[in-house]
Structure 1
Amino acid sequence: MPVAPPTGRSLSPARTFVAALITGLLLPGFAAVARAEPKPTVKQLKKELAELQKESDKLIADYYSSRIDQQKAEKAEKSAREKLAAAQEVYDRESVALRAMAVAQYTGGAPNEVTMMTGAQDPSALLGRMALTRHLVTLQDARLGGYARVRDDHQRAKGEAAARAEELARTVDELEERKARAEKTIERIKDRIDQLYTAPGVRRPDGTWVPQLPEGADNVTPRMRLVKMLIEQRFDVPYGIGCYRAVQDGGEHPLGRACDFMLSRGGAMPTGEELKRGDEIAEWAIKNARRLGIMYIIYRQRIWHVRTGGWRTMSDRGGTTANHYDHPHISVY
Structure 2
Amino acid sequence: MSSRHPYRSVFVALLAALVLGGLAATPAAAEPGGDTGDEGSSANPTLGSVLDDSTRAWTDAKAKFDASVKHQAELTTQLQATEAQLASIQEQVEAIAVAAYRTGPLTTIAALMDSDSPDSFAERAGSINQIAHHNDHLLHDFKLLKEQQAAQKKALDDEVAAQQQQVATMEQKKKDAEKALALAGGPSKGFVSANLPTADAVPRNANGSLPTEKCNVDDPTTTGCITPRMLHAMQEAQKSNFKRFVSCFRPSGPYEHPKGRACDFSVQTKTGFGGVAAGDDFVYGSNLAAYFVKNATQLGVMYVIWFKQIWTPAVGWHHYSGVAGDPSSDHTNHVHLSIL
Q: Would the TM-score normalized by the shorter structure come out above 0.5?
A: no
TM-score normalized by the length of structure 1: 0.44
Q: Which has the higher helix share?
A: 1
TM-score normalized by the length of structure 2: 0.43
| Highest RCO, 1 vs 2 (Cα 8 Å, sep ≥ 6) | 2
Q: Which has the larger radius of gyration?
A: 1
